[in-house]
Amino acid sequence: MKIGLIGLGIMGKPMAKNILKGGYTDLLVSDLNTAAVEEVVAAGAKSATNKEIGESCDVVLTMLPNSPHVKSVMLGENGVAGYMKPGAVFIDMSSINPVASKEIAAVLAEKNIDMLDAPVSGGEPKAIDGSLSFMVGGKQEVFDKFKPLLETMGASVVRCGDVGAGNTTKLANQIIVACNIQALAEALTLAQKAGVDPQLVFEAIRGGLAGSTVMNAKAPMMIEGNDKPGFKIDLHIKDLNNALDCAHTVGAPVPMTAEVQEIMQWLHNNEGGQKDHSAIAQYYEHLTGLKLGR
């Protein structure tokens, strides 16, 4: 099986390496960042143009920032879809609006090309160790065929329904993650304001009902003042914008999502857009003048 992967950013680059480690060595890669391409080529992949990927690959994967990027790469002028063979498959691992996923899938279907939307959760650490969670939409038979490929990058690969279901599930995931981070930052701020060590609060509650993967990953970062991005504020803003758009389209009430989005937007406007989303704690630090754990 010849595989093409377009998009070697924070997530795509380690995911490409895990495809190679998983035994899929016929891998062509493309990205505007030549240094990222060279790094993955050094691991065993081959550099290619988008056109070459479309013409020669049985399956094309993308890991791109948002809906316009995926549409441009696949359906724009000289888009990859124009070079793909009937019977080839497109798997979009980007986190985009499910409406856009359905639109892309409809165009590809006219060319006899199947699509899976397969966004991931887990951030850079899980992209590196190959333990991402995939939320997949598409035909059952296409999912079954390519599940082993996705399992080279993820510990959990679940089909959620037809095309669009993967990104709908990812939006739900991103709402839960964002609201958890906000609640965590608020709770630790309360503790420190009341004179209790946030580190001890974290240690005391992490094993109880409030404990979560989000807490285990983000509480130490907040307490240490570490805002090195595993998942950037600006990317989470993008996801929540998609969640709000989708919610407005289907009539779902999402007031908590709107509130945390406003906090992230404030951080974006105050030089925080490229920080990790745990930097939500810095919004509370701005309000209180306290620095968690410090």
- Closest C-alpha to 201, from 93, 85, 211, 113: 211
pLDDT of residue 274: 96
Alpha helices in the chain (DSSP H): 12-21, 34-42, 50-56, 67-75, 98-109, 123-129, 140-150, 165-193, 198-205, 213-224, 233-250, 255-269, 280-288
Structure token digits, residue 44: 């065993």
At 68-105, the pLDDT tens digits run 999 999 999 999 999 999 999 999 999 999 999 999 99
Q: What are phi and psi of 131, to 5 degrees?
A: -115, 30
At 192-220, the pLDDT tens digits run 999 999 999 999 999 999 999 999 999 99
Q: What is the mean pLDDT of the chain?
A: 96
pLDDT of residue 52: 97
- Closest C-alpha to 113, from 149, 60, 166, 66: 60
Confidence of residue 14 (pLDDT cuts 50, 70, 90): very high
85 given a catalytic annotation: no
**pLDDT for residue 293 is more than 90:** no
* Residue of 13, 17, 126, 170 marked active site: 170
pLDDT of residue 133: 96
- Closest C-alpha to 10, from 100, 118, 123: 123
Q: Which domains, from first to last, does the chain contain?
A: 3-162 (3.40.50.720), 168-288 (1.10.1040.10)
**pLDDT for residue 122 is more than 90:** no
Q: What percent of the chain has pLDDT over 90?
A: 95
pTM of the model: 0.88
Phi-psi region of 139 (alpha: psi -120 to 50; beta: other; left: phi over 0): beta
Mean pLDDT of 277-291: 96
∠ at Cα 189 (193, 206), nearest 5°?
Answer: 120
Sort 27 into a burial class: Cβ within 10 Å, 0-12 / 13-18 / 19+: buried
∠ at Cα 75 (78, 47), nearest 5°?
Answer: 55
